[in-house]
Structure 1
Amino acid sequence: MKIGTHNGSFHADEVLACALLRVLPRFKDAEIVRTRDPALLDTCDIVVDVGAVFDAERQRFDHHQKTFTHTLNSLDSSYKYSTKLSSAGLVYFHFGKEIISTLIQTDAKSSDVDVLVEKLFVKIYEKFIEEVDAIDNGISTHDTPGRYTINTNFSRRIGAFNPSWNEPGNDIDERFHRAMAVAEAEFTDKVHYFSRSWWPARKIVADALEQRFSAHKSGHALVFLEGGAPWKEHLFELELEQGLEGNILYTIYTDQSGKWRIQCVPQGPDSFENRLSLPAAWRGVRDDELAKVSSVEGAIFVHASGFIGGAETKEGILKMLEISLEQA
């Protein structure tokens, strides 16, 4: 089997596209043919990011032609994403579910695989692939200048494998293979995180939401006995599904040392604004001073931004919750 892509300087999208394909058993040992020669590309079983052709039946996946405007949404209207696809996005759309299934064979019960694959397909596009698509197509995250720049993203890291302008480039194909190994490892890590950590947390959040009135009579707080579970995205999705948008204001859980934490629910999964911050008088205060200011015995700290606080005991953290809710 041969996977064709262009030679010369490489970008994150075709590196990732090739890495994704090689996850599949039939492409595992495929030769990577880096060329722009049409005759050589014609000998390849699949071609990505070169050739000016998008034809899934012929296994040709380029996105540079003027007529190409495809997005995940335009290829399948059940997906909301409208970012123009790169070669990585094209390969992901056509092979992503098969690739994910290959990687999670031991991560889910057979009865759950289809549901999990669909959830992961969407989540990994949103959290990983879409960024590669957007950067390769010159699409900014902001309509106005951002307050700072991100210089450590996946595309930058992969691009850094290229020879510098004043370095010899006689090993560029070897550099491409090194970049591809990094891309495969990062993608695989994402899949395993979402399948092994993020997805199992959904049941924890769902159970806590169902038992919210046991946590506090107001129903505005959730208690997690498993500290550290990734709860935010699940909470927002479950609130929406159950018509409870904006209802949960705080979560309570234990940290690794067995102490208790209270954390504010943000306005959105990626927001730094809280639905209801901890009291202003507590922020940036610690230990005995905090216990005195808050009237909570065993209070340990409240972050200066008011998004999280801690106490020695569950009783203490529940008192912090009670006082904080009085602000609502």
Structure 2
Amino acid sequence: MSRLIEQIKQKDACAFTHGGKFHADDVFSSALLLYINPEISITRGNNVPEDFSGIVFDIGRGEFDHHQKDSRIRENGVPYAAFGLLWEAVGADILGEELAVKFDESFVQPLDNNDNTGEKNELATLIGNFNPSWDYEGGSDEAFFQAVSVAGMILENKFERYRGNERADKRVEEVLAKHDPASRILVLPEFIPCQKALSETDIAFVIFPSNRGGFCIQPQKREYSMNYKCSFPAEWLGLEGEELVNATGIPGAIFCHKGGFIMTVKEQDEAVKACEKALSLHKDSSVIVWYGSKGDTAAKACDSQTNEQLMNVAKARGIKGVHICHVDAMPVAQLELTELDSETAYAEVLMEKPQWKAYVKEQVKCILKYRPEAVYVEGNAFETYPVIRALRKKHIPVLTMIENKEKKIMVRIP
């Protein structure tokens, strides 16, 4: 147990942070302390009392403050805020070393970065919205502790989710150890979250008992893909009852979602049979979208070296029957721009923000209709950057070509 944990758990433990407007940093720091000791007393103010002997954070320029010039920065360049400094000291006691690091990377660091740089963060915005309006005449302590209460619920659920995922990973390892590696169908004794663990395997379907009775079948996606390794036949999608029985030839077929992400049947052997039928009918055909080429010259632009490298991408991912589809970016010439003048030295797009968002959304829609395994991008940054950003938010692999040591190399944009 860390020194800080022992201090937090003391009977009359107390802590002090800054008053006035609050942010996600001091709110989640407080929620973390209260998670460890619900009885700890947290006081807010503009100056730390000289005789205060408790934990001081986000003020005072001490161990758990980050406003001083020599405040600490992580090895990856993300600066610590108070929440990160506290988590560094207590995280391993709460989640264990390995999970504490993962939690820091995915949850704590984005909040730390927001507090230090102002980088947009939806959760930080949500917490900030608890602040009273600018002309409110009372104090902010009541609103602060309301925000802390919400942050506390988020932390509790996050911690339990991380622990649950760890238990699931261990359970999946146990099931896989007994699984026939030649089979692309995995039967689970109960529902276990396993999509991420199975994305790197050849397993195409998972079967598990449904809490409504019968058995569920879930197709599994490839790693970094929006596509399934094997999909249910299109003729099954959206059917249920007798219609699905007739389409599948399986007497116990109950329901197949129109989105193709789940199917239910009455018996386990029928679930296996449904998977086997889907596998026998499946034709592995996938698309890599080439975005940024121009009009009728698209085919000519597709040089042999790029083609070959894109095919190698598909091969490395175990994808057969891949073909390349071109989607043209909207040429800059078609966008209305402001006139250049000596004062601004650059032009502006004559679009309102909603129009620009709609433009980008339409470009992305044109790409997603192909359900691509990856998107290869070329062209100028003005045309491509907004689309790249939107695709990365959807976790779709985005590729581009760079020159490294006088050699052209295909790279995936992080």
Contact map agreement 2:26 2:83 (CA 8 A) in 1: yes
1:300-319 aligned within 5 A = 300-319=254-273
1:1-328 aligned within 5 A = 2-25=14-37, 28-35=39-46, 37=47, 40=49, 43=52, 45-51=54-60, 53=61, 58-62=62-66, 64=67, 68=71, 70-71=73-74, 74=75, 83-98=78-93, 100=94, 117-136=96-115, 137-139=117-119, 154-168=123-137, 170-195=138-163, 197-213=164-180, 218-227=182-191, 229-235=192-198, 245-268=200-223, 272-326=226-280, 327=282
Q: Secondary structure at the match of 1:262?
A: strand
The C-alpha deviation readout for 1:48-77, integer Å capped at 9, x for no partner, is: 3335x4xxxx52321x45665723xx1xxx
Contact map agreement 2:64 2:82 (CA 8 A) in 1: no
Q: Secondary structure at the match of 2:85?
A: helix
- Following TM superposition, by how much is the alpha carbon of 1:16 offset from its aligned partner in structure 2, in angstroms? 0.5
Amino acid at match of 1:230: P
Q: 1:138 to 1:256 in 2, by over 3 A?
A: same
State the alpha-carbon separation in 2 of the partners of residues 182 and 41 from structure 1: 31
Contact map agreement 1:260 1:312 (CA 8 A) in 2: yes
Q: Secondary structure at the match of 1:253?
A: strand
State the alpha-carbon separation in 1 of the partners of residues 35 and 20 from structure 2: 24
Contact map agreement 1:17 1:91 (CA 8 A) in 2: yes
Aligned length: 269
Q: Quick check: 284-293 or 248-257, which moved more? A: 284-293
Q: Quick check: 154-163 or 6-15, which moved more? A: 154-163
Q: Secondary structure at the match of 2:150?
A: helix
State the alpha-carbon separation in 2 of the partners of residues 323 and 41 from structure 1: 75
Q: What percentage of aligned pairs have identical amino acids?
A: 30
Q: Secondary structure at the match of 1:318?
A: helix
Q: 1:325 to 1:187 in 2, by over 3 A?
A: same
Amino acid at match of 1:183: A
Other-structure match for 1:78? none
State the alpha-carbon separation in 2 of the partners of residues 230 and 188 from structure 1: 19
- Following TM superposition, by how much is the alpha carbon of 1:140 offset from its aligned partner in structure 2, in angstroms? 5.3
State the alpha-carbon separation in 2 of the partners of residues 133 and 266 from structure 1: 33
- Following TM superposition, by how much is the alpha carbon of 1:172 offset from its aligned partner in structure 2, in angstroms? 0.7
Amino acid at match of 1:254: P
Q: 1:204 to 1:24 in 2, by over 3 A?
A: closer
- Following TM superposition, by how much is the alpha carbon of 1:126 offset from its aligned partner in structure 2, in angstroms? 4.6
- Following TM superposition, by how much is the alpha carbon of 1:28 offset from its aligned partner in structure 2, in angstroms? 4.6
Amino acid at match of 1:255: S
**Structure 2 residues not aligned, in runs of 5+:** 1-12, 285-414
Other-structure match for 2:395? none
Structure whose CA Rg is larger = 2
Contact map agreement 2:33 2:40 (CA 8 A) in 1: no
The C-alpha deviation readout for 1:160-212, integer Å capped at 9, x for no partner, is: 321123543x13112212222222232123223433x3332223311221222
State the alpha-carbon separation in 2 of the partners of residues 302 and 41 from structure 1: 67
TM-score by length of 2: 0.57
Contact map agreement 1:4 1:46 (CA 8 A) in 2: yes
TM-score by length of 1: 0.70
**Structure 1 residues not aligned, in runs of 5+:** 75-80, 101-115, 142-152, 237-244
Amino acid at match of 2:112: D
- Following TM superposition, by how much is the alpha carbon of 1:15 offset from its aligned partner in structure 2, in angstroms? 0.6
Q: Secondary structure at the match of 2:207?
A: strand
Structure with the greater relative contact order (CA < 8 A, sep ≥ 6): 1 or 2?
1
Contact map agreement 1:16 1:184 (CA 8 A) in 2: yes
Contact map agreement 1:21 1:28 (CA 8 A) in 2: no
State the alpha-carbon separation in 2 of the partners of residues 246 and 293 from structure 1: 29
Q: 1:60 to 1:266 in 2, by over 3 A?
A: same
- Following TM superposition, by how much is the alpha carbon of 1:272 offset from its aligned partner in structure 2, in angstroms? 4.4
- Following TM superposition, by how much is the alpha carbon of 1:94 offset from its aligned partner in structure 2, in angstroms? 2.3
Runs of 4+ deviating beyond 6 Å: none
